[in-house]
Amino acid sequence: MEEFNYYNPVKILFGDKQSQIADILKADGHSEVLFVYGQSSIKKTGLYDEICESLKNANVKFIEHGGVSSNPVLSHAREGVQKAKDITAILAVGGGSVVDESKAIAAAAGMKCDVWELYEGKEVTSALPLYVVLTLSATGSEMNAGSVLTNEETKEKLSFGSPLVYPKVSVINPALTATLNENYLVYSAVDIIAHVLEVYFTAEEHPKIQNRFCENIIKSVIKTTEIILKNPNDIDARGEFALCATWALNGLTSLGVGECSFPNHMIEHSLSALYNVPHGAGLAVVIPAWLKWFYNETKNTQVDRFAKKVFGKKNAHEGILALESWFSKIGAPITLKELGINKKDVDKIIKNIVRVAPKWDLEKIYNPDVLKEILNLV
Amino acid sequence: MEEFNYYNPVKILFGDKQSQIADILKADGHSEVLFVYGQSSIKKTGLYDEICESLKNANVKFIEHGGVSSNPVLSHAREGVQKAKDITAILAVGGGSVVDESKAIAAAAGMKCDVWELYEGKEVTSALPLYVVLTLSATGSEMNAGSVLTNEETKEKLSFGSPLVYPKVSVINPALTATLNENYLVYSAVDIIAHVLEVYFTAEEHPKIQNRFCENIIKSVIKTTEIILKNPNDIDARGEFALCATWALNGLTSLGVGECSFPNHMIEHSLSALYNVPHGAGLAVVIPAWLKWFYNETKNTQVDRFAKKVFGKKNAHEGILALESWFSKIGAPITLKELGINKKDVDKIIKNIVRVAPKWDLEKIYNPDVLKEILNLV
C-alpha cells in the first residue's frame, strides 16, 4: 500500500430526485444560475420542462446555455463564461460533457480568466459552485474534480483538475438514462471499463483489495450492459451501471496503488480531437491494441489475473481477445476503419499526441516509436 | 437498487502524516484545541511527544483530555466538554473510542448542551470541528458521522449520528497500529467483519456489485489479519487492513441496498454496557449465534452465498461454522464463558437490550423471546 490523500465532498442524490435541485439551489442562497445543457434530448424527454418548472417554483432565475456538444469545445465554453457574469452558481443538466464544460465555466467565471488557461495549467483558486443533474452515466465527472475540453482550433484535447470544481450536489437518476441512444450506452460501458483498467494495469502497486474492487466494477459493467441492451427499461441494471460509472473515477480505485497513468485516454484524446469520434468509441479501438503492446512489453501478471478473474480465461492473450470480442459483441468499434479513420493517418495522430499529451508520460514511455507500435496493433 | 443519498467530506491523509495535523489546525485558524487521547499507549510509543512537539512548533496551544477508556463513558465525555469551553477545535489521537468520545464533546460543546441529550435523540445543529490521528483501525469512526457512548450509571450504550461530526481531517498511519496488543487486532478484525455483515445480511436488496464489495472487504480482513498475526510489522498488510476498516463503515457498503439494521451491534452493546467487554470480543460471541438463528428463521440465500464466496463452503451451515472457527482460530472468544459472562445472566442481558435498543428494531423482530432464542445459541 502506498500513501495517499483522499477528499471527495460531493453530495450524491441517487434516484428520482432531480426536482429537488431547485430547492437546494434556493436553500444555498442562489437566486440566479446558469443552466447548462446539451443538444435537444432533454427537451424531448420532458426533463428540460421539469427543471425549468422547478426552478420557477423555487424562484430561481436562470440564463440558458444549451448546445454543449458531446466532445465539448472551447468556443462554446467561452460563450458560457460570458453569460455567467451575474450568476452565482452553475446548474449542469446532462452527461459528462455538459458537466465538464460546466466545470470549465465555473472556474473561468470564478477566476475571471480565459477558459483555456485552466487547461494549460493555471491553478484554480476560485470557482462558482456547481450543481449537477446527470442524464448519462459514463465519465464519472459527477463525482470527481476533473474536466476535459477540446480546443477545436488547435485540435488539442486537454484536462484540468481542482477540488474547487467538485460538484456540490449531483443527482443521479438511472431512469433518466433510459431514453439514451443504444450506441451511447455502449460507449459509456467502454469508458467506465477504461477508467478502471488504466489504474488496474498501470499502478505501481496492486493491493488485493483494489484488484478485486476493480474486477468487481468491470464484471458489473459487463453484466448490466448486456441486461440493458436486452431490456432498456431495466432500471435496476441501470442503477448498478450508474454506480459503476461513479465508482470508476471518483478516486476510490486508486487509493493506495501509488502512481498510475492514463495512456489509453492519452491516445484516444487525439483521436477525438482530430476526428470528433465519441470518446468511448475511440477507447474501444485503442484499449485492445495498447493492452497487446503492454503485455508484450512487460509480461505484467496483472494481465493474466485480469484474463482469469474477469473473463475466466487461461492466460493474458485469451483475456485480451475476450475483451476485444466483448467490445465488438456489444457494438463498439474495434478498428480505425470502423471509426472512419484511415490507417494512413497514424503519423498525423502520433503528431497530435506528441504535441498535446503530458510531457512526463511521453518522455518516460510513449515516444513516437512506441506510439506507432501501439497504433499498428489496431 | 434502492434510492440513496451519500455525502462524506472527510479528508483522509493515509500514511506517515501525523505531524501535518498541527499545521492543518493552524491553517484552519485554530490557535487552541482540546487534545483528546486514551490510556498510556501513545505516551509509550512516542506519538504523544510527536504530536505535542508539532503543536508547539505550529503555535497551537492545547488543553489535554487523556484517559478515554476503550468503551468510552459519559462522565469522562462530560469532563471533556467542561475543558472545551474556550477552544475552537478538537484533536483526537487514538482509536475509535477516542474518536467517538471526541465527537460527543465536539457536538455538546458546539451546542452547549449535556452530552447525553445527543444520545437520547437531540438533533445536532452545531459542533466544533474535529481532527483525527488514528492509532487503531476498527470502528470506521475516522470516516463516518456516528458515535457510541456508554452511560456507566444507567448501563446504557447508545449512539448518535450527524454530518456535523464528520472529522474534517483524519490521518490514518498504518505504522502507528504496529505496537497494538494482539488481542485488539483480533477484536478489530471482528468489528470490521461485523460492520460489513450487518449490511450484507439485513439489507432489503443485494445488488451484485455490493455483494462483491462486501465479500472483498471480508476476504481482505481475513487474509491481512492472518498475515499481521504472523508478522506484526507487515505495514503493507496493516495498510490494507486499515482501508478495510474505513470502507466497512463509511457508507459505501450500503449504497443502493435500502434499509438495513444492526442486530449484532444491538445485542453486543448490552454485553459491553453490562460487563465492559471489548466490543469486538462481544461481537465474536454474538455473530455466529445470530447467524444461526437468522438462517434457521429466514433461509436467506445470502448466507449460502456468503459460505461459498468467502469460505468456499457448500452451504450456509458450513459457512457459519467456518466463520465461528476462524474467530476462534485467531483468538477471539466464541462463548459467553470465554467473555467471563455466566449463561444464567441471559435474562438480565435481554432486559438491558429491551430497555436500550431502538424501539422499531425490537418491535419488528427482536422481541424478548427471539432474543432468548439467539442468546441460547451462543
- Per CB-CB distance under 8 Å, the chain B contacts of A216 are 209, 212-213, 216
Over residues A290-297, the mean pLDDT reads 97
Residues near B128 by beta carbon (within 8 Å), at least 6 away in sequence: B84, B87, B88, B89, B90, B105, B106, B107, B109, B110
Helix (H) or strand (E) holding B132: strand B130-134
Interchain pair A212, B207: CB under 8 A: no
A221 HSE (CA, 13 A, CB side): 32
Cell of A114: 480565459
The whole-number pLDDT of residue B149 equals 96
3-class DSSP assignment, residue A69: coil
Please report the beta strands in chain A, taking only residues with DSSP state E, as ranges in sequence order.
4-6, 11-14, 32-37, 61-65, 89-94, 130-134, 146-151, 156-161, 169-172
The whole-number pLDDT of residue B360 equals 67
Task: Check: CB of residue B11 under 8 Å from CB of residue B41.
Answer: no
Over residues A140-166, the mean pLDDT reads 96
Task: Check: CB of residue A265 under 8 Å from CB of residue A284.
Answer: no
The whole-number pLDDT of residue A21 equals 98
Test the A interface: residue of B18, B19, B209, B241 with most A CBs within 10 Å: B209
Query: What tens digit of pLDDT does each residue of A226-240 get?
Result: 999 999 999 999 999
Question: Tens-digit pLDDT profile for chain B (378 aa)?
Answer: 999 999 999 999 999 999 999 999 999 999 999 999 999 889 999 999 999 999 999 999 999 999 999 999 999 999 999 999 999 999 999 999 999 999 999 999 999 999 999 999 999 999 999 999 999 999 999 999 999 999 999 999 999 999 999 999 999 999 998 888 899 999 999 999 999 999 999 999 999 999 999 999 999 999 999 999 999 999 999 999 999 999 999 999 999 999 999 999 999 999 999 999 999 999 999 999 999 999 999 999 999 999 999 999 999 999 999 999 999 999 999 999 999 999 999 999 999 999 888 776 667 789 999 999 999 999
Say how far apart CA A273 and CA A253 lie, in whole Å: 27
Say how far apart CA B119 and CA A213 lie, in whole Å: 35
Name the interface residues of B facing A (CB cutoff 8 Å): 1-17, 174, 207-209, 212-213, 216-217, 219-220, 223, 235-236, 239-240, 243-244, 252, 255-256
Domains belonging to chain B, first-starting first, are 11-176 (3.40.50.1970), 182-376 (1.20.1090.10)
Task: Judge whether residue A358 has pLDDT over 80.
Answer: no
Task: Judge whether residue A360 has pLDDT over 70.
Answer: no
Over residues A92-103, the mean pLDDT reads 98
Say how far apart CA B268 and CA B283 lie, in whole Å: 6
| Dihedral sign from CA coordinates of A332, A338, A339, A344 | positive
Test the A interface: residue of B216, B236, B247 with most A CBs within 10 Å: B216
Residues near B327 by beta carbon (within 8 Å), at least 6 away in sequence: B190, B284, B287, B288, B334
The 3-state secondary structure of A85-133 reads: CCCCEEEEEECHHHHHHHHHHHHHHHHCCCHHHHHCCCCCCCCCCEEEE
Task: Judge whether residue A359 has pLDDT over 80.
Answer: no
Interchain pair B216, A216: CB under 8 A: yes
Flag whether the pTM goes above 0.95: yes
The total number of residues shown for chain A amounts to 378
> Residue B208 carries which side chain, given as an amino acid letter?
K
Q: Looking up cell 448466507, which residue turns up?
A: B303
- Per CB-CB distance under 8 Å, the chain A contacts of B12 are 4-7
Residues near B47 by beta carbon (within 8 Å), at least 6 away in sequence: B18, B93, B133, B135, B176
Query: What tens digit of pLDDT does each residue of A48-97 get?
Result: 999 999 999 999 999 999 999 999 999 999 999 999 999 999 999 999 99
Say how far apart CA B121 and CA B135 lie, in whole Å: 29
| Nearest residue, CB atoms, B236 vs list A1, A6, A13 | A1
| Nearest residue, CB atoms, B220 vs list A9, A208, A243 | A208
The whole-number pLDDT of residue B177 equals 87
Q: Residue A222 — pLDDT band, cuts 50, 70, 90?
A: very high
